Amino acid sequence: MAELVTLDGGRIACDVIGEGPLVVLSHGTGTGRGDYRRLMPLLAGAGYRVVNMDMRGHGESGLDRPSVTGKAAISRTDVAEDLLGVVRHFGGPAAIVGHSLSGGAATIAAGRAAGRGRAAGSRLLYSR
């Protein structure tokens, strides 16, 4: 069962397992958090708390708030803000893993994390 994290009136669905330093996983466009289902137990077994999120408008996550672009689509900046919100919700800092659009968003999030309270110190772990 997914945990729904509320961010600025929208919701982000997350699976959470493990204990330890936080790792946040975010899939690419057109897929879902199932992409990381085999990676989650490996990271948790290595001593990490793993949060695997559905990107905005995918899977169980809503697309019920406006994009920073003012368009109906989502942008890397939107997903970056969602990543930072998820990191704050779960008590970051975090290592952020992103693929495709989420890879660009993870890069933006890591750059913006400095000085952002509980997200401060978050780092990009992998982007593809």
The model's pLDDT over 89-116, given as tens digits with 9 standing for 90+, comes to: 999 889 999 999 999 999 898 888 766 5
Phi, psi of 38 (to 5 degrees): -85, -25
Pick from 100, 95, 65: nearest CA to 82: 65
What share of the chain in percent tops pLDDT 70?
A: 87
DSSP code at position 2: P
Which of 29-38, 72-81, 83-92 shows the lowest per-residue confidence on average (mean pLDDT)?
Answer: 72-81
Strand pairing report for 10-17 and 49-53: antiparallel
In this predicted structure, the answer to whether residue 125 has a pLDDT above a threshold of 90 is no
Q: Mean of the per-residue pLDDT values for the chain?
A: 87
Distance CA 112, CA 127 (A): 16
CA–CA distance, 41 with 70 (Å, rounded to integer): 38
Q: Tokens 């978050």 map to which residue?
A: 122
The residues with which 97 forms a beta bridge, in sequence order, are 25, 126
* Tokens standing for residue 106: 């993870």
d(CA 11, CA 9): 7
Domains and CATH numbers, the chain: 3-127 (3.40.50.1820)
CA angle, 73 as apex, 70 and 64 as ends, to 5°?
Answer: 80
